[in-house]
Structure formats: structure tokens, C-alpha cells
Structure 1
């Protein structure tokens, strides 16, 4: 992966103690190399000796590493290693890391990342999320500060986590619409809760994505909430989907997704209801990646 191609991403990985130390060193080395390459005025993202699927797009744009401007939030990266909890032997070893950088947009960085380990009610939780803001960072920041608190405090979370997550997302969206004045501001969200290292809950709203890697194969954990795919949903709420202006399907000709937090002026025609998936994490699961569309849609 070329981490400096994405707006933001984070990952979680499970492995043995010896592998953890090795992975940590390798990742930190790669991060330093990426930072070094960032400052080389002559360096390009690909070379003839190492072909890349990104090369055609990069060559067409004439992009170089130094074309990524540093603004409000510079390149950041972090790796954190967690041993299993002594009071919870079923919890597995895992690490998490994150990386974000602003691309070529003229506005400041609007993405926020959440990555935290927490013990709650005897459960060992890994909490991870990407919030990709648009028309401002306020909604993404609010989600970073409040979404997980609302999810974990929702009654019935342990009995029916999928339903509880949907209720918490609705409550959080209501708070955003009440507290953030600008009705054009919004954010996507992809959030993951790792329970004791063996159970994974993933919720997504918008076009940020999550995947897991099992025996070297990528497995999608989310589906983009695309206006063409969910045209019937938009129309059932009184809206329409148009490719004007441009050639990107948009709700009411404005928003390129059918689900988002905030976006008050379009809220009658879109929703913040997430899709929720629950799956078991076993020995075949190598790592999990959450990322905004800055990574997935680079083609």
C-alpha cells in the first residue's frame, strides 16, 4: 500500500508477540521512508522498474509527491501495540495504526480518525473509525467526539448491537442537525468495534469503506451508499438523482452519496442510517483496513 495516496486510513491487525514487534518496526520504517519521499522534489509516485496500477492516472495528471500540499493537518501516522488483557485471556494480541494526509484539494483537511482501546463491562474493545467530512470539518469532528459514546451507551447494545448502532447513529445525527448551524456540512462514517479480538462490528454511512484480509484475500465489509444504486430510496423520500453538473450521480444534483451525517438541507431526501455487519475474527483474519474514498477511488 502507498499510504500517502489516501486522505485517511487506519488498520488493525492480530498476530503473535514476535510478529507484533517485527510489524511495528517495519511499519515505522515505511512511514519514515514515505515522509522522506514526500520532500524529494524529483520523486514520483511510481517508476518504470516498479509498475503500479496507479501509474496511468498519475502520468495523466503529472502528479508528483511534492504536489500534495501540507495545510491544516500535516502527514500523521501512528502504530500502537496491545497485548491481550491479563483479566481477559480470550482477548487476542493486536496492533492498530493510522495515517492521514491532505491531497490536492484547496480546502483544509476535513477528515477525523478515532482509534482507541477500551475496557467496558469486562469486554476488551478496539474502537476505530474514519469520518470524512465535506463542506467543512465540523460534522466529522462531532462524530469523532460523540459517536462511539452514543453507541456504547445505547440501551440494549450487548443484546442487539446492530439495532443499537442504528439507534445511536440516528440520535447522533439529530444532535448534529440541532447543534451545527451550517446545513450544508456533513460527513461519512465507517466505524468498527473489535470485541475481545474475536468479534467485529462494522457500521458505515456514505462511501468510506472497510475490508478484512483473510488468507491473503480482501473481503469487503461495507457497501458504498451510491445515488445510482439507491435511487429508489432517494425518490421514495421526495428527492431525485442527477448527473448534472458533471458526470457524477448526485442527490438533488448536490451530494454524491445517499447516506451521510449532517447535510441538513438534504436530510429529507437522504438518511444517516448505517449498514451494519457482524463477523467472527479467527486465525485466518490477518488485518482490517478502514479508509476514506481518497484511497479506494484512486483509479
Structure 2
């Protein structure tokens, strides 16, 4: 193992992230057509990189699962790092995962959030958004999210959003009913209690009474017209529409090159946030 790789592993062990771009790729053993690639770029903020990803194919008995996720942390990297290590593990522990994956994912999100809150002394006051995709035997996608990271599917060249952006101004009544408020002060972005720019998140113990951790969950069959899936943090979606993202990579065959191209385009469009992107190619 090269010295650079050893240093990277040591940083990961203690929760530190390099400011250098992080890339990777993989492919399904069940279908040679299905591949994935990811690319992360740190934003211009002074804090360390707070985005974490999961991108892997996993054999479970005679089944194959593609596990893909982006965790976009705020006020620290501990919560997204915890999610990277535990969320899928908790989902797969649910006894009815194979029969009812939608409800299994909902319960696992709730269990994981409760664990994070219980460990707040260790993990700190921060939180994280999440978008997760589980590809079951290359035939079915189970998408879930809380916050503003997003999942977008390309079908016959057209973008289809599979997740739901959870923003304070769209859920202001729910926040008020929990005793909170939505304010643009300071600045010009609506925030829960003037502090958090998303209405749903893992963690954030000090705001939890006014936040939701209920995920939006959807199931999509992978049919012949499905070309690729994009998962990305809001560092991409702040500067690019769903269709623009699809158009940017529709002619690129390699999944990792596609993910890298999207992060480059977001930087070209002056995105200043951390940018994380996973692309799963089906053709």
C-alpha cells in the first residue's frame, strides 16, 4: 500500500477527510451492464469535508444489493460518518426487508436517528441529510431521503426526480405545529429556527423537536428504458437542474467519468459547497 493510501486510511479512522478529490468505481457481478462511479470535491468553506458516500455491491446469500448513499453533514462530520457505517447495516437487519423494503427503510431510518440522538455526547451537536438507493438484484430501486440531497433517474433521456427536497419554506406549517419557526434572518435562506436550511435531518439534537427525520421513500422498477441514476448533494443541485445534470452526462459511458464530469460542471457554475456525486449506469 502506498504512503498516500496509508495516510488516507489513517485520516478516515480518526474521522478526518482529505481536501483532495475522492473517486471510485465498481460493477455488478449479477449484470455486467450495471456499473457505478463516484466523485467528491471539497467546497470552499473553512471546515473539513462533511460529505460521505457509500457505493458498493454486496452479496447477501443468493441475492445482490447495490448500496449507494450520500450523507451531507452540517456542524461536523461525526453524524454523516456514523451514517456511512451504520444506516445500511440497520436497514438490512430489518426482518421484513426483502418482503417490504419500503417500511423496512422507514423503520431503520428512525432507529438510526434515535441511536444518533442517544450518542449525541459522543457524536456532537451536528446532523446530516441523506439520500440512499438500494438496487435489489439489478431489478428494483428503493430510494429514500431526508433533506436536500437528491436522486434523479434518466429514462429515455428524460430526468425523473425520485426523492423529495425537504426545505423549511415548504414544511413551515409542520415546523410551526411542532413549536418552531422559519426565518430568513440572518441572510436570505429560509432556516428552521433561523439555524438550519433543511426541514428534515438526522441528528441535530438541539433542534430535534422542530425537525422531522421521516424519510421520503419510493420504489422504482429498473426497466429497459432506464439509463442511469444520479445521487448528489445539494452542492450540485444548487447550480444545476435535474435535466441539465442528465444532459451533461448522457453521452458519457463510464460511470466514474460521469460523476467527475458533474462535479466539474458544478464547480464551473460557481458552486461553493461540498459536492458529492454517485452515478449508476444501467446500459
- Given candidates 45, 68, 76, the residue that maps to 1:105 is 45
Q: What CA distance in whole angstroms lies between the structure 1 residues aligned with 2:110 and 2:73?
A: 17
2:209 maps to which of 268, 279, 291:
268
Q: How does 1:136-215 map to 2 (within 5 A)?
A: 136-181=76-121, 184-215=125-156
- What is the alpha-carbon distance in structure 1 between the residues aligned to residue 202 and residue 72 of structure 2? 10
- Provide the rounded CA distance (Å) in 1 between the counterparts of 2:61 and 2:25: 26
Deviations 1:229-259 (A, max 9, x none): 1111111211111111111111111111110
1:289 and 2:222 equivalent?
A: no
Q: State the partner residue of 2:188.
A: 247
TM-score by length of 1: 0.72
The 2-side partners of 1:122 and 1:257 are apart by: 39
Q: Which runs of 4+ in 1 moved over 6 A?
A: none
Separation in structure 1 between the aligned mates of residue 183 and residue 217 of structure 2, nearest angstrom: 28
- The answer for the alignment partner of 2:27 in structure 1 is 81
Structure 2 unpaired stretches of 5+: 1-16, 241-283
Gap runs ≥5 in structure 1: 1-70, 85-90
Task: For residue 68 of structure 2, give the secondary structure of its aligned residue in structure 1.
Answer: strand
Q: Which has the larger radius of gyration?
A: 1
How far does the alpha carbon of each residue in 1:200-242 deviate from its partner, in whole angstroms, 9 at most, with x for none?
0000010000001001111101111010111111112111111
Counterpart-to-counterpart distance in 1, 2:214 and 2:61: 27
Is the 2:145–2:216 contact (alpha carbons within 8 Å) kept by the matching residues of 1? yes
CA–CA separation in structure 2 for the residues paired with 1:154 and 1:171: 10
The aligned counterpart of 1:216 is 157
Q: Is the 8 A contact 2:27 2:57 kept in 1?
A: no
Does residue 66 of structure 2 align to residue 126 of structure 1? yes
TM-score by length of structure 2 reads 0.76
Report how far residue 162 of structure 1 moved: 1.2
SS at match of 1:202: strand
Distance 2:106 2:87 in 1: 11
Q: What's the C-alpha RMSD, in Å, of the aligned pairs?
A: 1.4
Paired residue total: 223
Which residue is 1:33 aligned to? Answer: none
